[in-house]
Amino acid sequence: MKKHINETTHSTILPSVLSINASDSTGEAGIVADIGTISALRGRPLAAMTSIMGGPQHISDLPTELVLRQISSALLKGSPKAVKVGFLSDSLTIESLTSIIQAVPRKVMVPSIIDSTGNKLLSPQAIDMWIKHLFPLADLLILKVCEAEEILGIKIHTDADMLKAAGILCEMGAKAVMLRGAEISDGYLTAVLLHQNGHRFFTSRNMDKWRRHGMAGALSTAIATRYAMGDSTEEGVLNAHSYIHSHLIYSIMPSQGMPALRSADIYNGFLSLLTEHYASAHDVAFYAGKLCVSTRYLQEVTDKMAEKTPKQIITDYLMQEACNMLKGTRLTIQQIGLRLGFSSQAQFSRFFSREWGLSPQAYRFDAEQKTSDK
């Protein structure tokens, strides 16, 4: 009897991801860029256009009925497992969207209140509609720090301020909040993720590249795609953040050769660990151990990425935190030293004086004098 072998291969079914967003004339952001990011991460892109953008002063919203028709078609044909809601400025469309996307399992909300150059894109009425109708639907709400300041009417200057603001936004209904774009430390951009199981900080020295048009959109779309693949919130953000760093932030010009993705991942992991453990771990070996590499290899990575040793990066971070506390709080020198992981005021003072050339007391006095002179 002749045996028949079924040679049909089962193709992998790609998870569908819906982007509800504006067009962007450059193609570097908006719905076109979202489609590219979803495809690059092995998702099946679905799209619904909300507006046509020709700059912050030239935004044309599509009629609500047309936007909803696009979304209904995508939901019917694609059954998306995640949706990213990006730029949306029409109040009626925002309100109408609430019921139509309820059935999508995972939802990433990115209001785009202020653009990368500081221009306000949404009216107060539209912001209120976002807060009322879409914030409570968010599995993850992503905002720039300046946008959180606009919504909450507060100033965000420290890591603690970021966590407090994220907590208030969670109280508005979002299951998790990511605040990004803070310059808590000179030369670093900081983001924080707050979710039901805790929080995590992310830090990058590549300020100019992170501020490049379209980077924030790529990150949020990558998170939505990872959601569709089954990641938890923290897993989704970590995987998306790693993807953006490896493929966009640390990309090297062709003349310099292909980027060393492992080096980029290790460097980003080192900075993330530093923001989490700087107050308790000052030893390079601790971070190398967490990253499962030798201290020598970690130094090779930081030399390549930042032209600094790991110890210099740890010291710079500690000094920046110390300066922020000396200028921005009324904590005593001893309290600051203890918060930064030093065993005594004397040890902290020696460290600070060696690095700055002034004692902590003298630094604080000079900072107060400069403030009073303004």
Q: Which amino acid is at 371?
A: T
> Does the domain spanning 16-249 belong to CATH 3.40.1190.20?
yes
Please report which residue ranges of 155-294 form alpha helices under DSSP H. Answer: 159-171, 207-210, 215-228, 233-244, 261-277, 284-291
Residue 109 has φ and ψ, to the nearest 5°, of: -110, 125
* Residue carrying structure tokens 């900075």: 271
CB-based burial label for 307 (10 Å; 0-12, 13-18, 19+): exposed
Q: What percent of the chain has pLDDT over 70?
A: 84
Fold for 254-374, please state it. Answer: Arc Repressor Mutant, subunit A (1.10.10)
Q: pLDDT, tens digit, for every residue of 7-66?
A: 333 334 789 999 999 998 666 788 998 999 999 888 999 999 999 987 656 789 999 999
Task: Give the start-to-end residue ranges of the domains of the chain.
Answer: 16-249, 254-374
Which residues, 6+ apart, have CB-to-CB distance to 22 below 8 Å?
A: 30, 31, 49, 50, 51, 52, 53, 59, 86, 87, 88
Q: Is the pLDDT of residue 204 over 80?
A: no
Q: pLDDT, tens digit, for every residue of 137-150?
A: 999 999 999 999 99
Which neighbouring-strand residues pair with 180? 144
Task: Name the pTM for this structure.
Answer: 0.68
Q: pLDDT, tens digit, for every residue of 279-338?
A: 999 999 999 998 888 899 999 988 887 788 999 999 988 998 898 889 878 899 999 999
User: Do 16-249 and 254-374 have matching folds?
Assistant: no
